[in-house]
Amino acid sequence: MIKTLAGQVKEFKKDSILTPFFMILEVIMEMIIPLLMSSIIDDGVERGDIHHIYIIGIWMVVAAGIGLFAGVMGGKYGARASTGFAKNLRQAMFENIQTFSFSNIDKFSTPSLVTRMTTDVTNLQNSYQMLLRMCVRAPFSLVCAMIMSFSVNAKLASIYLVAVLILGAFLALIIWRAMGYFTAMFKKYDDLNASVQENVSAIRVVKAYVREKYEKSRFTKASDNVYRMAVKAERIVSFNSPLMMLTVYSCILGISWLGAKMIVQSVLTTGELMMLLAYCMSILMNLMMLSMVFVMLSMSVASAERVSEVLNETPDIVNPDHPLYEVKDGSIVFDHVSFRYNKDGKKNVLNDISFSVKEGETIGIIGGTGSAKSSLVNLISRLYDVSDGRLLVGGKDVREYDIETLRDEVSVVLQKNVLFSGTILDNLRWGDENATEEECKRACRLACADEFIDRMPEGYHTYIEQGGSNVSGGQKQRLCIARALLKKPKILILDDSTSAVDTATDAKIREAFAKEIPNTTKLIIAQRVSSVQNADRIIVMDNGEISGFDSHENLIKTNEIYREVYESQTKGGGDFDENGGE
């Protein structure tokens, strides 16, 4: 974990080295000032030597000035190092997330990833700054002050040693008790973020069903859980300050009482007593500072583990040692393919699937909800890897291809259509960032998206809100299809992506595909028989297995499942789910 996080310091190593250097310089100046103060009292004030007072006073000002400069520079470099460290952490996490396969992403929830990239990284940023500044300054100051105190008077300095040992034991107990609550508190942040994220993303559903009161109570519960954990932790930490003050004042009383006796006995000078009192405050305040650092570090341990989990997560799907960078054609072969989402699971989602598709064929895929239609097509572009068997594209196993090359040749319009904030052209160019406006218009004509775009005042420069909230479901689907077509893929997969489109427009889209992209292999998942009946062949899925694979006419004669659905839909009725299918 430490090695993983330390690797993100990168270009801020210089700042990370200069920060403790200036902290040490500041401490040295702080240790010199009480020594000079003692000299002023003993050799200047008591002897009436005004010249000595001026000279030592000037040196004190110089030491204070150097200490001030060192403190400012330490703060400057510390801030730069910690913010740079946080920036690198977020960048590294985001870049690693981009390499995740779907199976990796399934391990982390969206709110959890948001918490890790915000709250957890902020905790690590604060801890890193404390590590560079306070974790260097406090121990060094503590040791220096202790050495200076013992060099002046070992008997009086032993009071500090006893106080430090007792206080250190109590502070260790406080940190140990508080750490468990802080760890639990950060886990509760995930629930809090989940409540906010789901409420905002589904705000239309919340308002449509008048569930604001429920959402408020849900958020309140999550917020209260964070509050309770925080209060329990802070209640324990709150003992830190009074315990520290008790120790400080006890030490001052003890040193003053014993020191006064020693001055009367001429064993100790007034200047030395003042110096010891100054070192007393330095020792105990630095110990308190160190305790707060440990509290902060204990809080960040949970954050460090959560951030490291994301950074150390390796993608399940990676390039082979010698990948292929060319997909010959759009042919597809499933050779006894089985698939399960959980590698250690016993139940397959797909069982012994075998079929082949020639380049340029149009294949319909139909089946009830939960029959694994989407799981089947997700394997083609290696969004998941097969568990058993082989899947060939262009005559080669998909695991032999460079992932980027394979996915460039396979365009997938997923069930959940996603548009990003930006103009229509910006969204279309996700398919090809170098596409001209004319190429974008052609893709929209094929997807029948030009029909509504041309009616918009700003046309292709119309701004799309986040998530495509200012366009309808059918319009969103057609834009996503056009975006996929811009890739000029060898394989086009439409995963129930015309479900919100009327049947007439659906027919136009299929007709345009047949005429304009005849050499592209097309896989069309649909619930409506009318969407796939003109396909060259149709796969009927049932509970993760292929129930039938033939033309529309033959399936009506030979496949009972397909025939029942066809008859129910042509007679005005239903689809696969009318009887509550899976």
Pairing of strands 545-550, 396-397: unpaired
Decide: helix, strand or coil at residue 526: strand
368 has a pLDDT exceeding 50? yes
Highest-confidence segment of 140-144, 279-283, 338-342, 521-525: 521-525
Residue 512, both tokens: 């345009």
Cα torsion through 113, 119, 123, 129, rounded to 10: 100
DSSP state of 132: H
Strand partners, 542: 545
550 has a pLDDT exceeding 80? yes
pLDDT in the model for residue 581: 37
Q: Percentage of the chain surpassing pLDDT 90?
A: 24
Decide: helix, strand or coil at residue 333: strand
405 has a pLDDT exceeding 70? yes
Q: What tens digit of pLDDT does each residue of 200-209 get?
A: 777 878 888 8
Average pLDDT value over all residues in the chain: 84
Pairing of strands 491-495, 410-413: parallel
Residue 378, both tokens: 């997700």
Q: Which of 571, 194, 104, 575 is CA-nearest to residue 382? A: 104
Do the beta carbons of residue 403 and residue 385 sit within 8 Å?
Answer: no
Q: Which of 420, 414, 526, 383 is CA-nearest to residue 477? A: 414
406 has a pLDDT exceeding 70? yes
pLDDT in the model for residue 103: 75
DSSP state of 56: H
What kind and span of H or E run contains 311? helix 270-312
Residue 227, both tokens: 């509050």
Do the beta carbons of residue 364 and residue 538 sit within 8 Å?
Answer: yes
How far apart are the C-alpha atoms of 274 and 262, rounded to whole Å? 13
Contacts of 303 (CB under 8 A, 6+ apart): 116, 119, 120, 121, 123, 124, 127, 186
Amino acid of residue 219: F
DSSP state of 579: T
Tokens 């240790």 label which residue? 31
- What does the DSSP assignment read for 398-445? GGGB-HHHHHHHEEEE-SS----SEEHHHHHTTT-TT--HHHHHHHHH
580 has a pLDDT exceeding 60? no
339 has a pLDDT exceeding 70? yes
pLDDT range class, residue 359, cuts 50, 70, 90: very high
Q: Which of 419, 422, 495, 484 is CA-nearest to residue 447? A: 484
Cα torsion through 507, 359, 384, 336, rounded to 10: 110
577 has a pLDDT exceeding 70? no
pLDDT range class, residue 537, cuts 50, 70, 90: very high
How far apart are the C-alpha atoms of 95 and 461, rounded to whole Å? 30
Highest-confidence segment of 368-382, 386-400, 462-476, 556-570: 386-400
Do the beta carbons of residue 431 and residue 484 sit within 8 Å?
Answer: yes
What is the pTM assigned to this prediction?
Answer: 0.70
Amino acid of residue 508: K
Which residue segments constitute the domains of the chain, with CATH numbers given?
A: 2-312 (1.20.1560.10), 332-570 (3.40.50.300)
Decide: helix, strand or coil at residue 143: helix
Beta strands in 342-384 (DSSP E): 350-357, 362-367
pLDDT range class, residue 343, cuts 50, 70, 90: confident
574 has a pLDDT exceeding 60? no
- The whole-number average pLDDT for the span 222-241 is 83
Contacts of 385 (CB under 8 A, 6+ apart): 101, 316, 317, 379, 399
Decide: helix, strand or coil at residue 100: coil
Decide: helix, strand or coil at residue 176: helix
DSSP state of 315: P
- The whole-number average pLDDT for the span 226-231 is 86
Q: Which of 539, 542, 546, 545 is CA-nearest to residue 576? A: 542
pLDDT in the model for residue 579: 42
How far apart are the C-alpha atoms of 152 and 264, rounded to whole Å? 17
Positive or negative, the CA dihedral 425, 428, 434, 440 is: negative
pLDDT in the model for residue 263: 83
pLDDT in the model for residue 290: 76
Q: What tens digit of pLDDT does each residue of 95-153 get?
A: 988 888 777 777 777 777 888 888 889 989 988 988 888 888 888 888 888 888 888 78
Tokens 């100051």 label which residue? 141
